[in-house]
Structure 1
Amino acid sequence: MSGHARPRLFCFHHAGAGVSSFARWQRVFGERREVVPVLLPGRDARAAEPRITDPGRLTAELRHSLGPLLDRPYALYGHSLGALVAHTLAGAVAGLGLREPDLVVLGAALPPHLPSPLLPDTFPSDHELLCRLVAQGQLPRAALEEDEDGVWHRRALPVIRDDLRLAAALRAVGRGSLRVPVLAVAGREDAVAPVRQVEHWSTYTTAGFALRTVAGGHFFVRDGRLPRLLSEELDMWPYASRAAVRPKSSGV
């Protein structure tokens, strides 16, 4: 398959993260698809840019950065916060006059109508937030042992806090239904986004829906099994298909 004709897979990272989780995905997809990790402002190579906490600014950012790349068949994968970003983009592109995705894959995320343990009514103190992040496996236990001028307080917490604000804002406006198929992926040991609740994404699409499960907790995106699963699933969802089928859930 010609590199110019390859469909694309855009990947959106979880809160506090960059695109390192997707670094090896291209090896799995090979020449069949082009993997495009999407780095939000305020981290890694974009650390000097203001972070996004507003849905309107997010949509403008994605239109500017991705609009020219939506010129061929494509799918979206988002993990946790990234799932909300992918859902937002998928719902906005038609109104922006852009091509719609052929499949939206939402990993480790609860749909907006369900309360999330990551987003309490009031944001916790730095120490409470650190405790939660360590318990969830997002930060190492060493983060609890450093002083308030340590690297986790200075670098990680501000990014995570703003990302959680963005997640809360996206959930507040993200009740709309998509016109494209949705595949939800849940970790079987994920206490943050349990399988039985992730399945509720089925009400957010008027096209096809499927649920798949993988081994692991909330950050199964770091496991090499996920890109292999997505590679198989993308081959099974024809790009031209808009049939409203709902395959049964299955463990992978």
Structure 2
Amino acid sequence: MSGTGPPRLFCFHHAGAGTSGFARWQRVLGGSAEVVPVLLPGRDARFHEPRITAPERLFAELFDRLGPLLDRPYALYGHSLGGLIGYHFARVVETAGLREPSRVVVGAVLPPHLPSPLLPAAFPPDGQLLPWLVSYGALPAEALEGGPGGIWQRRVLPTVRDDLLLGQALRALERTPLRVPLVAVAGLDDAIAPTGPVGQWRHYSTAGFRLETVQGGHFFVREREVAQLLTGVMDGVGAEVRSKSSSV
């Protein structure tokens, strides 16, 4: 039996982050969706839990937490690392025979067949990792403040490193097109995931693809424009659900 209520929008955060980037989304999306930010272990309220670096543990975690919430239509949005998580979660949901998402939306992330500057074969050592990430715009300049004993070095760096290891492992998994529509979102000023390469996500769906652009750099997730874009996506999901219900 399907649950009642608006479609759900599950949101996966970028490397080193928590769910604060999605904090205002429910206000923007209103009744078009129930926004469900997905917090991975090792940060914020789950700080004392071991972080995830292996895809198998990631999928077990997501099935455990999200499985009971797949009782009504839903979509996925993933930002940067979260985009890889969303894409692969949709794949394993298809394989498991569970309710598939109505849409998968990936933002600020290159498709897994393209090399990513943030996911090299080997990462710099800890002493060089923060400056390296700042140079790519993956962390703000204030990450370099405080030196080796600063909060970024002590609290943020270990989380970022483990999240990037998870990203490497996800990129190495099998790549198959989804059976559901896919939307890719690129920031016009994003040097990490530029518009052209992001457009190659078109090869990852057999059910339709759309490329959208928004103002901003790699962290456009914090801006209102992407939430407004997703309002349109979720309105479309809701309309499809209502159409199917009326035809039954």
Same structural fold, with TM-score higher than 0.5 when normalized by the shorter chain: yes
Partner SS for 2:31: coil
2:126 is matched with which residue? 126
Equivalent-residue separation in structure 2 for 1:132 and 1:23 (angstroms): 28
Distance 1:72 1:20 in 2: 25
Deviation readout 1:84-119 (Å, 9 max, x if unpaired): 000011001122232100000000000010000001
Structure 2 counterparts to residues 167-246 of structure 1, below 5 A: 167-236=167-236, 238-239=239-240
Q: Distance in 1 between matches of 2:75 and 2:157?
A: 31
Partner of 2:50: 50
SS at match of 2:15: coil
Equivalent residues of 1:73, 1:239 under 8 A apart: no
Q: Secondary structure at the match of 1:93?
A: helix
Corresponding position of 1:247: none
Note the C-alpha offset of 1:138.
4.1
1:116 aligns with 2:96: no
Aligned to 1:28: 28
Aligned-partner Cα distance in 1 for 2:142–2:7: 41
Structure 1 CA distance, aligned partners of 2:150 and 2:4?
A: 46
Contact 2:42–2:50 at 8 Å: present in 1 too?
yes
Deviation at residue 140 of structure 1 after TM alignment: 3.4
- Take 1:174 and 1:31, find their aligned partners in 2: how far apart are those partners? 36
Give the match for residue 11 of structure 1: 11
TM-score, normalised on structure 1? 0.90
- Larger helix percent: 2
Instruction: Provide the secondary structure at the position in 2 that maps to 1:173.
Output: coil
Q: 2:15, 2:164 within 8 Å by CA — same for their partners in 1?
A: yes
* 1:173 Cα deviation from its structure 2 partner: 0.2
For residue 178 of structure 1, report the CA deviation from its aligned partner: 0.8
Q: Any runs of at least 4 consecutive aligned residues in structure 1 with deviations exceeding 2 A, and if so which?
A: 94-97, 132-143, 233-241
Q: Is the 8 A contact 2:183 2:209 kept in 1?
A: yes
Mean Cα deviation higher: 229-238 or 61-70 = 229-238
Native 8 Å contact 1:103 1:183 kept in 2:
yes
CA distance in 1, matches of 2:136, 2:79: 15
- The one-letter amino acid of 1:46's match is R
**Does the CA contact (< 8 Å) of 2:90 and 2:178 recur in 1?**
yes
One-letter amino acid of the structure 2 residue matched with residue 153 of structure 1: Q
Aligned partner of 2:245 in structure 1 is none
- Structure 2, unmatched stretches of 5+, are 243-248
User: Which residue identity lines up with residue 215 of structure 1 in the other structure?
Assistant: Q
Could you report, residue by residue, the CA deviation over 1:205-232 in whole angstroms, capped at 9, with x for unpaired residues? 1111000000111110011111011102
Conservation of the 8 A alpha-carbon contact between 1:112 and 1:174: no
Give 1:164's aligned residue: 164
Task: Please give the secondary structure, in 2, of the residue aligned with 1:94.
Answer: helix
CA distance in 1, matches of 2:145, 2:151: 11
Q: Offset of 1:77 from its aligned partner?
A: 0.2
Is 1:149 paired with 2:149? yes
Cα contact 2:10–2:77 (8 A) shared by 1:
yes
Tell me the alpha carbon deviations over residues 2-33 of structure 1, each in whole angstroms, 9 at most, x when there is no partner: x9421100000000000000001000111221
Shift of 1:176: 1.6
What's the counterpart of residue 246 of structure 1? none
Secondary structure at the aligned position of 2:139 is classed as coil
- 1:98–1:134 CA distance, 2 compared to 1 (3 A): same
Aligned length: 239
Per the TM alignment, residue 240 of structure 1 is displaced from its structure 2 partner at its CA by 5.4
Provide the aligned C-alpha RMSD in A: 1.7
Percent of aligned positions that are identical: 62
Q: What CA distance in whole angstroms lies between the structure 2 residues aligned with 1:13 and 1:95? A: 24
CA offsets per residue over residues 121-160 of structure 1, 9 Å max, x none? Answer: 2111223321132234443323323231221111000000
